[in-house]
Structure 1
Amino acid sequence: MPGKITVYISNLASNVETRKQQMRIQDVLSGCKIDYDVVDVSASRDNLARMREIVGDPKALAPQIANDDEYCGNYDDFEEAVENKSLNEFLKSENTA
């Protein structure tokens, strides 16, 4: 059974590029009718710590994507998967476009 996709974002991101990346990920997932949760790492230290634990990098910044507790990748990895039409494999999921 496939897990739940989680997109880790920061609503306090002042960097315009980061905001664009976060929106792009959400737009693509929504457009493909992929069910996902959004977790704002700026809302709680626990959220940030959880994301960094999953990513395996104590300095990781949003956006990051995971399937349950399995790390999928960052924005660049996501874009590459979209470009290569390998979103299924990237998300480690069976029910994606």
Structure 2
Amino acid sequence: MQMTCLRCILRFGNRKKGKAAFCVEAWLICLWDSPNCTMSINIYYSSITATVSLEKHQTHIFYILDGKGIKYRLMDLSEDPKLKDEMQSKIGNPDAMAPQIFNGDQYSGGYEAFEQAVECEMIEKILKLDSAQQQMQQK
């Protein structure tokens, strides 16, 4: 499964037709499909959005995490329809829509929960980052 690098999306605009970009820089930091990957935060999102508000919500999450230096992996629902079923199964809600955030297999919440955590300055808590993970994230 190919992951989308947000830096490539922003730099090269590779969101057309749901095509994922490949970023050598991100590959050197973390081999996406490696079981030893240090990125535990997974964000299910869609590179093809039907509404402006969905695009804004997803972008807001990316900017906040980037600003805090928290590394994450993007799971593009528009590339693989099975990912949507996987996401909804993990959450236990067949109606759940992107964006949804996980720390490994632990569900952290959707945009509303994330926004509430931002307001309360509790992002690390909602993302379930312990001190060891926070140190690894900042490297």
Same fold flag (TM > 0.5): yes
Deviation at 1:3, TM superposition (A): 6.7
Identity of aligned residues (%): 34
Residue from 69, 76, 97 that aligns with 2:112: 76
- Contact map agreement 1:41 1:51 (CA 8 A) in 2: no
Question: Which structure features the higher share of strand residues?
Answer: 1
Does 2:58 correspond to 1:22? yes
Gaps of 5+ in 1: none
Matched residue count: 96
| Residue 70 of structure 2 corresponds to residue 47 of structure 1 | no
Q: C-alpha distance in 2, partners of 1:40/1:55?
A: 17
What does residue 44 of structure 2 align with? 8
User: Greater CA deviation, 79-88 or 46-55?
Assistant: 46-55
Write the deviation string for residues 14-51 of structure 1: whole angstroms up to 9, x where unpaired: 10000000000001001100010011111111211111
Question: Quick one: distance in 1 between partners of 2:80 and 2:39?
Answer: 23
Structure with greater contact order relative to length (CA < 8 Å, sep ≥ 6): 1
Q: What secondary structure, in the 3-state scheme, does the structure 2 residue paired with 1:72 have?
A: strand
Superposition RMSD on alpha carbons, in Å?
Answer: 1.7
| Runs of 5+ unmatched residues, structure 2 | 1-37
Instruction: Name the stretch that deviates more: 51-60 or 65-74.
Output: 51-60
Q: Distance in 1 between matches of 2:39 and 2:77?
A: 20
TM-score, normalised by the number of residues in structure 2:
0.65
For normalisation by structure 1, the TM-score amounts to: 0.91
Displacement after TM superposition at 1:59 (Å): 1.3
